[in-house]
Structure 1
Amino acid sequence: MRSKKNIRPYIILIAFLLLGWSHAIAQTLNKPIPADNPNIAGNSPWTAVCASSDFNEYFVKFTWNTPLVNSNNSFILELSDANGSFTTPTQLASDNTKNTTFNFDFRFELPNTARGDGYKLRVVSTSPAKTSPASDAFSMYYIDFKSSLLISPNGNGNIPSGGTIELCDGNSATLAVHNVTNPQTYRYNWYRSGTPLAEKSHTITITQAGIYMVEVDYGSLCSGSANTLSNDIEITTGASLGIALNTPSKTALCSGETETLEANIMGQGLSYTWFKNGTAVTGPTVDAHTYAVDASIPGFEGEYAVEIDGDGTCLERSSGVTITNAGDFTVTRNNDPNIVLLPSQTKTLSVTTSASSPVYQWYKDGVILAGQISNTLNVNQPGGYFARVSQSGGACAATAIDSEITTVVIPASFEITIAYTAEYEDCKNNSIVLGVATINALDTQGVKTDVTSELIGNFTYQWKKDGIGVNGATASSISLTDISENGIYELDAVVETYSPTSNTLSVLLLVNETLAITASSLVSCNDAEFITISTTTDLSSTTFDWIKDGVDLNSLTETLNVSETGKYQLVVYRNGCPLPSNEITISPLDDSLITLDSPNTVVFPTGGSKTVTASGGTAYQWVDINNVLLSDSASVTFTEEGSYLLIANIENCEITKQITVVLQDIFKVPNVITVNGDGINDQWIIPNTYSRNKDINVLIYNAKGEVILNVFDYQNNWPESTIAFKKQNMVFYYKIKTSKEVLKQGTITIIR
């Protein structure tokens, strides 16, 4: 291996690539495919991902084709959502060390929120920006719950005695999971007497007899490994007792009233469960045949029903009774919750209501304001104000609803706070906007009231940098876009007799400049030859550092000559801020990058020819044994036997490969060999059409059908001298095949 000294046209192409012209030739990113786990012996590629806290390590194989990506590239493995959509992909892994490796594995862990059968994977490159095709769809589940489920009526935790519920004809029962936190976040498989049901929720409403069980749905391939199958509950049917609710005295209640609902069956030792809008509001309680609806409790309105159960009694729920709010109306405050009164100011508070015949009464600090009985109130004093609204007639004339309280303050002073209006970090941002974040009114005790929305437009402003007013900066915000504007900022504000000054903020912007470095080569041929890394930026009057693998090289030269592999970067300091360049990765030379589409031994028939194509390089020369150039392209056509040499370049580095060209043997595959040690026909020699080819598989079986030889790239070396044949005329069977078809098959007789 040696460096090329002569400059060939392909060097110009490489230079363009290094200068960012790599988009002229497109890389091909192939879709990722499942790979085996190298940390598990005897493992094979996965077909589904069933991850958990006990095991969560998976691999996919990714391949891509030349040309090389840029040195600052990263390959990113992304996961779709459960439907295969990449609208908001999840990043699983990232690798910036494989920019000259065309076949490698990504290791990833499945997020603990993944549950579904349609997940896909893809790989994205960042420089140039390209996206691979999506993988096939796979089942992927993170199994975070893997205990037996428990089910009970309405999920109340009371599993019925004997696991049996007798359900009245025409009624229904609800079973629900009760031992899972946030059960609604999972999908479930329900079964009736072993038959899968369509319901996927953590609850199921039952009307048919049968034995019911449930498990967490982790997909067809992962569910079995979780062992979540629940207890079973048997539903039987029986005759109804005719449970119903007695007609209540009233169904429309005013605030503060109560109404007792009563079941029509009582005194039989039954268990009663009361429901509101289909949800249990009590547990099953013996002889609890009444339930009090309290209209003083917000949200009391709804449909109420009762369910009975007991020994010898089928589970039965009554029809519902709807209880409404007779005094239901709203009161809305129309002004801000916090109002500031400046000296000599008066402001108006107001409310609106949906009451049909409203009566208004205003209060200050909980004390009635005599004569203030309209929906508006003018205020010029501090305090807490609200309006009490009541109906002047109807069933709930006594019902009253208070508006929200409005706090009115006359400030002793103001406090103004400024902040960065976007995410900001010194020496990271090229620009930033500073603005008013909050304005607080302070009373004499220092109690703060946020009045930002009300007064931000009432103040006049003056921004200051390093204590000096900024010309023209008189708005509530200021935009900074240049390093000349770096400094300490504060804001003076004025409204009437108040003149608060804000807190201070430091601004240290990074220069809006792109720093780029290039290398004379991205591949290190050997330690004796240097690669030059340089920049077009003038470094003569600035401070800078050359960095390798994150470590300062303490070099003061404006260009850097290197022979070691690694990741290089230049950092220039502008106005106290570091300005980093792009990163360049120098990789070691890898002979395996040069590949041939044919074995190193090339076979072709007499009178014919064979074309061989190389890939992975940037220039090629094919020469014969006399060093005569046959081709300087990626391909060459052979017409004569002999030894040939491929000289391939990867940038400035040279790799050689020896190639042997032979004419195709025309003899047949032998079916008899004589292993008597005379050196003649002692081994099974097959035509070179089939031998010494890494793509052809040779198998030999004994009389029992057992495989005794299974190799690719067969070297015409069976049987080995150490093999002893105990019988005369032993018969073996052979098969010569590729991955797609059988080329030859037959018998081999051994004569000793």
Structure 2
Amino acid sequence: MIKCSPTTILKNSFIFFMLLVIPAITLVYSQVAINKPAIGFTQLCANPGFNTFEVSFSFSPAGSLNPTNQFILEMSDGSGNFASPIILSYTEKLLAATPTSRTLIFSAPTTTSGENYRLRVKSTSPVAVSPTTNAFAAYYKIQDSQFSINNFSPTATFCTGGSLILSIDNPGTGTNDSPLKYPSLKYNWFRVPSLVPIATTQTLTVTQPGRYYVETNYGTCTSDSYSNRVDVNEAAGGATASITSSKGNPFCASAGATILATQAGNSYQWFKNSVVIAGATSQQYQTSEGGLYTVRVDFGGCNATATLQLEDVNFNSSLNVSATTTINKGESKAVIVTTNAINPTFQWFLNNTLISAAVTNTLNINNEGKYAVIISQSTSCVSQKELLFEINYPFIDPNVTLIPNLVSPNNDGINDTWVLPQEYVSGTNTQIILLNSRGEVALQTNSYQNNWPENEINFNSINPIYYYIITTEDNKVKKGSITVVR
């Protein structure tokens, strides 16, 4: 028989004790129970202006979580299924935390849409999963404002035996935030007074008279995303159409285009001045030009046509000089603007430089250059017109010493006009007379500017001949002929 010393017995007892204690300690850190989370809402109705919600849960026993533990917040699909759970980002509400409870603050994803969502909580160390929360409706209302159908018109018409298509207006600009900007949205159409949807599509085909409207489908969540009401009538004796201009008639083109609109129908075709406008097949047509506009509307079973003489608040202006005018050095030319603009103002420019002292409709010019005048109408419809013109001195070629007997006005820059020596041109008081072959006077002047012929010559398949008589101030006379060739 082997006898053990007291020391040996004590050591063996300690080892046996530790073998019992260590599993117990491990057991404390390897098990945790997470209770059913509590939500502080019955519906989760989020939008861009509000998307903050809370979920609270407790767990036991205290101290059962490892230091490395993390909680995971999961959301089911809209049917309560966790086959592919949505992992939600969250922050902890630190002041609400206790050794056995947590409160998490989270936001709904923008794709949330359904009536039976649920939440659950997981822990990572030790691993545990809570029961799911009670089911709740949840929607992220990405579009939560009123919108329009039927171009905001309160009425529409279809013909007996036909139909009418009501549609949501698009694009969503200005005060009309069209839900069509968000392809994921769904819809419910209603016929007053029933609260039961009659369609869930983007458009509604109407075959019965009544009052109709559409809402964005956010389930049981209250929403401001709904359309105007439209009274649809049946036209047994045929339909009528009209055209309205968004900026009135006349309209101010300088303030931007106006939108022409007609009643809702199944199809449209717009015309301007009785000519088809290619591609203009919508209920609206945008234009910045006046004219006679016509639209043909198919109401389903019958057609109607409407016309509108659209007038642009505009003005006309003209100058008393041509685009190019010649004056002699030292000569002054009064250029006058004639306009029907209301309360007009004038700005004159020489070679793109403002002539600050020139503020009336008349400018006395004695220098050559490129000129412009801007006429502004300072009424509620502010608009401008710019008129351009050029002032030149007579062309004098100092190299010309002989009187040319050939002219070829073909715009090739060579012999285009009859250019005389400097001693006979404007400023020398020399009389120039040109006669055609029939003896008729084609030109007579005492201030020739080397610019003949200014008008087109009729060749009649032959080269015409002209005869000149040049008489200087001291009565010296030169005579000869000029042949005009192509």
Instruction: Tell me the TM-score normalized by structure 2.
Output: 0.42
Bigger relative contact order (CA 8 A; separation at least 6): 2
Instruction: Tell me the TM-score normalized by structure 1.
Output: 0.28
Structure having the higher strand fraction is 1
Give 1 or 2 for the bigger CA radius of gyration.
2
